[in-house]
Structure 1
Amino acid sequence: MIAFTRQLLPAALLCSALSAQASEVLMGDFWVVHYQGGLGKNQVFLADGDPKNIFNRPGGAQSLGVYQLYEEPGKPNFTTYDVEIDCAKNRVRIMGAADFRSVFNKLLNVKYSSQWQSKPDAWLAQSRDFVCKPAERQAKKMERLGVMPASQISKAGPHLFGILNREAAKTAIMQKIDEGFAQMSAK
């Protein structure tokens, strides 16, 4: 996990547009809030933590943009979610979702439940904690990628997946080494 953290900054720099951006380009402060999957099937969830992009909703809730990037072939490039978070009541729900596939070059609406989640998926719980408990981001292994145009997030995926796959391979190798030492000491 430590190597993953060390490699996020170069990945973010590779993904960032270094030239000046036009004022109408949506900029965000992107964070990895959750990742899951395995070799060749990783998914990374990025939240936009820019205060200008977190909106107040009626009843004290807030709206946050979360992007799910997919490594697996046949999946969309990413899915974008409008996540509503109510910190006071410790709850979360999805208010909108759309897939982006570069083949169509447009967002296509997907099904979702707009009900408050009694047992939210890990990425939803992490998204809630991202907004409600910002002081705990580092402890919850949330990593800042940095400020970049929203259009650059799909380019971040391959870099992040490469990092996750290297870490998974290292973990598998270390497990085999540990098993080998365990067998040697048992004899």
Structure 2
Amino acid sequence: MMRSPTWRLLPLALLCNAVSAQASDVLMGDYWVVHYQGGLGKQQVFLADGDPKNIFARPGGAQSLGVYRLYEEPGKPNFTAYDVEIDCKKNRARVMGAQDFSSVSNQFRKGKFNAQWQTKPEPWVAQSRDFVCKPGERPAKKMERLGVMSASQMTKAGPQLFEILNRESLKVELIKQIDEAFAQMPAK
């Protein structure tokens, strides 16, 4: 379940926006957190590029956008870049391509994906579909705007996002332990 750490993302968004004004010849995007998952030390954040110039028309009325999965866990790629195709009229989505990037090898490799229209899409795919098809519902669906920045700046935002999510995970775990401790206390 996504909770909205909006006020905690604000300093990150301001920092990224200030830096993004430097280079006008670099491909820029308008990045939004559309989903996150995982636990302490194993967080994954999914960022969609909502810049209309970077959302492309596909045959049959579908649209294509970039979604980036940032990984916190060691041994995983730094990120996976997905080409996600969205068909709003038929309320469906599919992944058309995936590229894993690892800073260890400093190269992209073909990532795993299934190009079939998903009847029960993974949560990040469903959120990506809703990001495009229902832009007015972004706040209600807890989608957070990071701001306009280059792709390299977007990928560098991962550690700050993981720090925020790990703090939230720690709070949830502490509250769970406290609740369990109270539940085990003898009643008077």
Q: After TM superposition, is the score higher than 0.5?
A: yes
Q: CA RMSD in A?
A: 1.6
Contact 1:79 1:97 in 2 (8 A): yes
Aligned to 1:137: 138
1:3-14 superposed matches below 5 A: 4-14=5-15
Contact 1:15 1:155 in 2 (8 A): no
Aligned to 1:22: 23
**What is the alpha-carbon distance in structure 2 between the residues aligned to residue 182 and residue 80 of structure 1?**
44
Q: Residues 90-130 of structure 1: CA distance to partner in whole angstroms, max 9, x if unpaired?
A: 11011111001112222211232211111110000000000
Structure 1 pair 19–142 and aligned structure 2 pair: CA distance change class (3 A): closer
Contact 1:16 1:149 in 2 (8 A): no
**What is the alpha-carbon distance in structure 1 between the residues aligned to residue 82 and residue 59 of structure 2?**
19
**What is the alpha-carbon distance in structure 2 between the residues aligned to residue 32 and residue 19 of structure 1?**
18
Contact 2:84 2:95 in 1 (8 A): yes
3-state DSSP class of the match of 2:157?
helix
Alignment partner of 1:147 is 2:138: no
**What is the alpha-carbon distance in structure 2 between the residues aligned to residue 138 and residue 25 of structure 1?**
29
Sequence identity percentage: 74
**What is the alpha-carbon distance in structure 1 between the residues aligned to residue 21 and residue 32 of structure 2?**
22
**What is the alpha-carbon distance in structure 1 between the residues aligned to residue 13 and residue 101 of structure 2?**
21
Structure 1 pair 73–116 and aligned structure 2 pair: CA distance change class (3 A): same
TM-score normalised per structure 2: 0.92
Contact 1:33 1:123 in 2 (8 A): yes
TM-score normalised per structure 1: 0.93
Q: Residues 22-56 of structure 1: CA distance to partner in whole angstroms, max 9, x if unpaired?
A: 33211111000000000010100000001111111
3-state DSSP class of the match of 1:148?
strand
Q: What count of residue pairs does the alignment treat as equivalent?
A: 186
1:72-111 superposed matches below 5 A: 72-111=73-112
1:23-172 superposed matches below 5 A: 23-172=24-173
- Give how far 1:20 is off: 3.5
Segments of 5+ residues of structure 1 without an aligned counterpart are none
Equivalent AA in structure 2 for residue 149 of structure 1: S
Equivalent AA in structure 2 for residue 68 of structure 1: R
Equivalent AA in structure 1 for residue 90 of structure 2: K
**What is the alpha-carbon distance in structure 2 between the residues aligned to residue 111 and residue 179 of structure 1?**
40
Structure 1 pair 159–109 and aligned structure 2 pair: CA distance change class (3 A): same
Equivalent AA in structure 2 for residue 86 of structure 1: D
**What is the alpha-carbon distance in structure 1 between the residues aligned to residue 168 and residue 72 of structure 2?**
15
- Give how far 1:137 is off: 0.7
Equivalent AA in structure 2 for residue 24 of structure 1: D
Aligned to 1:178: 179
- Give how far 1:172 is off: 1.4
